[in-house]
Amino acid sequence: MTLSAHPKSKLMKSFSVLGPYLREEQCQNDYFFFDCLAICVNVKLMAEKRQFWGWWMELKFKEEGFTYSYQLGLYSKEKGWRTEKIKDPETQEALKTTLRTFHKRLHDMLITMEMTLEAAQDHSDQCTELLV
């Protein structure tokens, strides 16, 4: 199977149904970008100054399906995403929960399209453990 068997526009539509995670402006031919702003660090700041704990995923087409890599970290409008160690156990668990939920929905959707979803070769074991 090739990506052309599933036109990009069809994939974009399917991915957008998964929720507010797809960032269309960052997607390219066989590359898709998803993220989740799960927890606001300080709600008292003006919206454009706020930072969020969350995760992001890069999805790349390869042969019969897709490979993924996830990162956890901190997002700000000014700096974008950056990997950051999350010390608070409750924040860690909340991020893991949203990530697992999204991953399952993405995996189930790709199965219905007869496509696979596998960790990228350079994907860290730590991030793969997040899905367990």
Number of folded domains in the chain?
A: 1
Q: What whole-number percentage of the chain has pLDDT above 90?
A: 68
CATH number of the domain to which 39 belongs: 3.30.310.230
59 forms beta bridges with 32, 68
Parent domain of 54: 3-129
Mean pLDDT (the chain) is 88
- The whole-number pLDDT of residue 2 equals 46
How far apart are alpha carbons 70 and 21 in whole angstroms? 13
Q: Model confidence over 62-84: pLDDT tens digits?
A: 988 999 999 999 999 999 999 99
Rounded to the nearest angstrom, the gap between the alpha carbon of residue 117 and the centroid of all alpha carbons in its chain is 13
pLDDT in tens, 43-61: 999 989 999 999 999 999 9
